[in-house]
Amino acid sequence: MENLPLEGLRVVEFSHMVMGPSTGAILADLGADVIKVEPLGGDQTRRLLGSGSGYFPMFNRNKRSICIDLKSEAGLTAAKRLVDGAEVLIENFRPGALEKLGLGADAFRDSNPGLIYYSAKGFLSGPYEKRAALDEVAQMMGGLAYMTGPTGRPLRAGASVIDITGGMFGVIGILAALHRKGTTGEGATVRSSLFETTAYMVGQHMAQMAVTGQAARPMPERISAWAIYDVFETANEGELLFVGVVSDSQWQSFTRAFDLGPIGSDPAYAENNDRVLARDVIVPVVREIMGSHTRAELLETLETAGVAFAPITRPDELFDDVHLNANGALVDLTLNDGRKVRLPATPIELNGALPGVRHDLPHPGEDSEQILKDFGFDEAEIAALVGSHAVTTGQVAAR
């Protein structure tokens, strides 16, 4: 995609894991030049095992990498010069970590007054703000885990939803601050957090309590707003299907597509709330119908009927999804060991196209020298930094 909206925006990113990198990844996909500052040897996120093994490849495309020893005077001075030459800084370390290094927001008030300084934290200002936090911590104390699992079995969501959503709020805050800067010329300190993000996401359940006077029950036990809004077994063992009939017109389409017997033509079920009260009558009939057809047959019928539906799919099955492969929603990347992979693009269409890949996943420090040149370091300064190992360059494997 040409003429990306954030072209020319320089971002220096001091971050690891998910929340900070996801913020940088979105800005990078939209055209920003995101400089990922890694410790010598590379971000530890690169070496995580198990569920963490996908963090780095998912959230670090379209970034350039420089490895700096922030514990050395020369490296710290170089890092400060990078920030002074940038419009945005991203960081997601423990509260006070960058301040101790002299890289806090106050350190750049005079040298870069227009800087947008973004911090991704566990908590915003208040009694909890010094606490360490994780996505799972926020889900547990913010009510999301309670809502996801059945009573007595709190369950975190099946992805880093709070890290990523918190990072998205970070992008919103950064873009808002940049817009104001265009008018006032002033920089800003922006923060988003895991806990407050979780509270925002369960706000609908808090509002339910306010409206009805009854606390929301966990999702597996909730009283649905619709009669048919559930997962059903099909004739194929293990092939499950979600169906949601969420309007009176969809109910009419559904009853035309499937023979529900007397229920389908009974005017007592014509309106949604009446159907909700009759779930015990309607749902068993629908379960029997769903169980008598293959999932493929049901998908075709539901597609024609215009009713909301979804096959229950594993994440790895999305590699072969026809829709994602047709519209550019999966982008080609190269892992640092040379293997090829396709991963989801930032899900925003601009003039009909999704953002692509301008810069493959970086090896640790592979862009160090070019970044220093771009930020005004001369050859002697670069040689001194590399020679003292304050900055290292990566050995780029053939792609």
The phi and psi torsions of 158 (rounded to 5 degrees) equal -80, 15
The phi and psi torsions of 355 (rounded to 5 degrees) equal -65, 140
- Positive or negative torsion for Cα 388, 390, 396, 397: positive
From CA 337, how far away is CA 353, in angstroms rounded? 29
For residue 187, give the 3-state DSSP assignment.
coil
What the block records as the tokens of 131 is 């606490």
Nearest in space to 260 (alpha carbons), one of 284, 236, 280, 244: 284
As a whole number of Å, the CA-based R_g of the chain is 25
Are the beta carbons of 164 and 17 closer than 8 angstroms? no
Determine what percent of the chain falls in helix, strand and coil, rounding each to the nearest 5: 45, 15, 40
Catalytic residue selected from 29, 69, 163, 367:
163
Q: Is 163 a catalytic residue?
A: yes
Place of tokens 């070496």: 47
Nearest in space to 203 (alpha carbons), one of 19, 211, 31, 97: 211
From CA 156, how far away is CA 197, in angstroms rounded? 15
From CA 97, how far away is CA 285, in angstroms rounded? 59
From CA 298, how far away is CA 243, in angstroms rounded? 10
Nearest in space to 43 (alpha carbons), one of 28, 24, 27, 30: 24
Are the beta carbons of 61 and 30 closer than 8 angstroms? no
Are the beta carbons of 195 and 189 closer than 8 angstroms? no
End-to-end CA distance of the chain: 22
Q: Which residues of 121-131 are buried (b: 16+ CB within 10 A; e: fewer)?
A: bbbeeeeeeee
E strand residue ranges, 330-390 = 330-334, 340-344
Residues labelled catalytic: 163
